[in-house]
Structure 1
Amino acid sequence: MAAPPLSLKESAALTRRITLASVSVAAALLAAKLGAWAISGSVALLASAADSGLDLIASLVTFFAVRYAAAPPDAEHRFGHGKAEAFASLMQAGLVFASAALIAREAIVQIGAPTPLRNEGWAVAVMALSTVATGGLIAAQSWVLRRTASVAVAGDRAHYATDLASNLLALGAIAAAALFGASGWDALGALAVAALLLWGAIHVFREAAGQLMDRELSPAARRRIVELVAQDPRLTDVHRLRSRASGPYVHIQMHVDLDPALTLQAAHEVLLEAENRVLAEFPNADIIIHPDPRGAAEPHGGAFAGEALGKRGLKDDVGVSAGS
């Protein structure tokens, strides 16, 4: 049975706790990896430590961003502050790109002039501990994301998912160097870590950019919104549906057809009931429903009228005509 949707307050509390956990894990792992690198000289471990350092910065950015994003709308930000989460994710992506470049450079230098490892056992132990801690954090973040839709936490999880893979690579490279006495394995492991970081950064960037560019909600979510509104037979032809996510918030706009003989009070009550049905499943939504008189509505103008978007017009992906 699916868990009931969270209120904005509950969602904000969950994201605050998981971002605090993220900062704590990143700080602990950075300290441990730097200590192990100092006594082992492993470039793969240094690569992983550099990644953890940037993770700490990114987690701190996320820590503050989710708190700002959950702040209520004010006179200067009538749509709230939700996009702060997307900006935080963009910063995360930039930091990961920088980390990958630095790690790749150090690995290439190490391939040309390999340095033998020292005290490999410490390096292996720290990387094993890092892998377990990162896996635990990812599991907690995944649980939070099943309850919330925080793009900042999603970006942070993508960070740590890449870290988990990079930790396994670094662990394998250090172990191979220790067992076979081949320092080149250590540097090759660092290069593989850099490649994974680039892949993760691209994913985070795409998710954040989609929210900043007001990408629509998923087709499944849009279909569900139409189903909820259309449960009342007095509401027909749900059209011109627009939706977007903004951090913890969802913004939904649509037009519906109503019997033109309804009084203004009756029409208002019908729309209010429809709004409450949507809010029951999308509790963090800001909803605007525009009524059109059935059979007598004039085409709507404005910058986003169908004619302004070309011959295709605003064709919805929910099986509903978008024209008025």
Structure 2
Amino acid sequence: MAVTPASARLMRAAGLASVGVAAVLIAIKLYAYVATNSVSMLSSLFDSALDLGASMVNLLAIRTAVTPADAEHRFGHGKAEPLAGLIQVAFILGSSLLLLFEVGKHFLERQAVQQETVGIFVMLISIALTMALILFQRHVIRRTDSMAVQADSAHYLSDFLANIAVIVALVLSSLFGWWWIDPLFGLLVAIFIAYTALTIGRTSLDMLMDREMDTAEREKIKAIVRDHPEVLNLHDLRTRIAGKDRFIQFHLELSPEISLKEAHRISDAVEAQVIEAFPEAEVIIHQDPYGAADRPSPRFG
């Protein structure tokens, strides 16, 4: 089914907001890194720089995903969203590798942190901006169920936690003079970023590989279908997810004594009930006489 104009506007707004926030964070964190020489600050700067690239890819994916289905893409453009998720994984893992290199360098050279107050002030601004963006993204996710916005939100949540870690590292370094606390927190942030990337990657890959809807949703579909008093059974239920869209198809088993017109009426009623439960779904129903599932399918000999 096509994305509604309201959902499309929200998704585009979320994409533009993430690009804008990332650009601001890069500017203030670059200033803070030059002032403090903190590797944990540098780790946060790396992440924000890659956030900008990922968010720009995300914005392009959202613009594609909300494009209505056409003659060449009959199932819509929803897979642009998980594809953007995989591209984000590459960005995030790249930032983790660069950060690990810097962490190792600072462990070996024992570089001291300077002007911690500047770094702490900048990170507080970063936390406020990131939290505002996450709250807006969560609102958009609730309204649209967008995979691209979910991936972006998960990424910025990792940034939010990383920013807190940077503040803790700067405070401890300032109070106790522990030179090793700064690269240690940089290492922990790098590991957490990599974990976030793998989580996003698995979800995106599931969508691209047409993974079935989860068991609870499939059971809900079966219950809705079987609840109709004139439906005797169903079989060959198949589902898949592409972005925010769901595709559902199954064979409906009806009495062999009814007319084609009656079968069509029952099928329409069942389809309406399924769509009521899954508003973004495209539902395809094939009518079979009861017991057809027990006979061998011609496709399999």
- SS state of the match for residue 58, structure 2? helix
Counterpart of 1:200?
196
2:34 counterpart of 1:38: yes
Are 1:8 and 1:283, in contact at CA under 8 Å, matched by a contact in 2? no
Are 2:116 and 2:170, in contact at CA under 8 Å, matched by a contact in 1? yes
Shift of 1:117: 2.3
Give distance in 2, aligned partners of 1:226 and 1:63: 36
Give distance in 1, aligned partners of 2:177 and 2:290: 79
Counterpart of 2:221?
225
Give distance in 2, aligned partners of 1:219 and 1:13: 31
Query: 124, 144, 149: which is aligned to 2:140?
Result: 144
Deviations 1:133-159 (A, max 9, x none): 222222222232233322211111111
Counterpart of 2:71?
75
TM-score after normalising by structure 2: 0.93
Residue type of the alignment partner of 1:101 = L
Residue type of the alignment partner of 2:296 = P
Counterpart of 2:100?
104
- SS state of the match for residue 95, structure 1? helix
Are 2:123 and 2:167, in contact at CA under 8 Å, matched by a contact in 1? yes
- SS state of the match for residue 285, structure 2? strand
Query: 205, 209, 224: which is aligned to 1:209?
Result: 205
Give distance in 2, aligned partners of 1:47 and 1:277: 50
Query: 241, 247, 259: which is aligned to 1:245?
Result: 241
2:296 counterpart of 1:299: yes
Cα gap change, 1:244 to 1:8, in 2 (>3 Å) = farther
Deviations 1:243-282 (A, max 9, x none): 1110121111111101122222221121112111111222
For the aligned residue pairs, the C-alpha RMSD in angstroms reads 1.8
Query: 46, 61, 69: which is aligned to 2:57?
Result: 61
Counterpart of 1:311?
none
Give distance in 1, aligned partners of 2:122 and 2:65: 35
Are 1:7 and 1:283, in contact at CA under 8 Å, matched by a contact in 2? no
Are 1:70 and 1:248, in contact at CA under 8 Å, matched by a contact in 2? no
2:172 counterpart of 1:169: no
Which one has the bigger helix percentage? 2
Residue type of the alignment partner of 2:145 = A
Are 2:238 and 2:250, in contact at CA under 8 Å, matched by a contact in 1? yes
2:154 counterpart of 1:158: yes
Give distance in 2, aligned partners of 1:44 and 1:98: 16
Counterpart of 1:315?
none
Structure 1 unmatched runs, 5+: 1-5, 308-324
Give distance in 1, aligned partners of 2:207 and 2:28: 35
Residue type of the alignment partner of 2:155 = H
Residue type of the alignment partner of 1:191 = L
- SS state of the match for residue 292, structure 1? strand
Residue type of the alignment partner of 2:117 = G
Cα gap change, 1:13 to 1:299, in 2 (>3 Å) = farther
Counterpart of 2:268?
272
Give distance in 2, aligned partners of 1:122 and 1:99: 24
- SS state of the match for residue 183, structure 1? coil
Give distance in 1, aligned partners of 2:242 and 2:85: 13
Tell which deviates more after alignment, 184-193 or 145-154: 145-154
- SS state of the match for residue 234, structure 1? coil
Give distance in 1, aligned partners of 2:17 and 2:292: 57
Counterpart of 1:122?
118
Shift of 1:227: 2.4
Structure 2 unmatched runs, 5+: none
The alignment-based identity, stated in percent, is: 40
- SS state of the match for residue 157, structure 2? helix
Deviations 1:45-71 (A, max 9, x none): 111011001011111111111121121
Shift of 1:82: 0.6
Are 1:100 and 1:194, in contact at CA under 8 Å, matched by a contact in 2? yes
Are 1:8 and 1:248, in contact at CA under 8 Å, matched by a contact in 2? no
Tell which deviates more after alignment, 29-38 or 290-299: 290-299
Residue type of the alignment partner of 1:268 = H
Give distance in 2, aligned partners of 1:236 and 1:34: 66
Counterpart of 1:47?
43
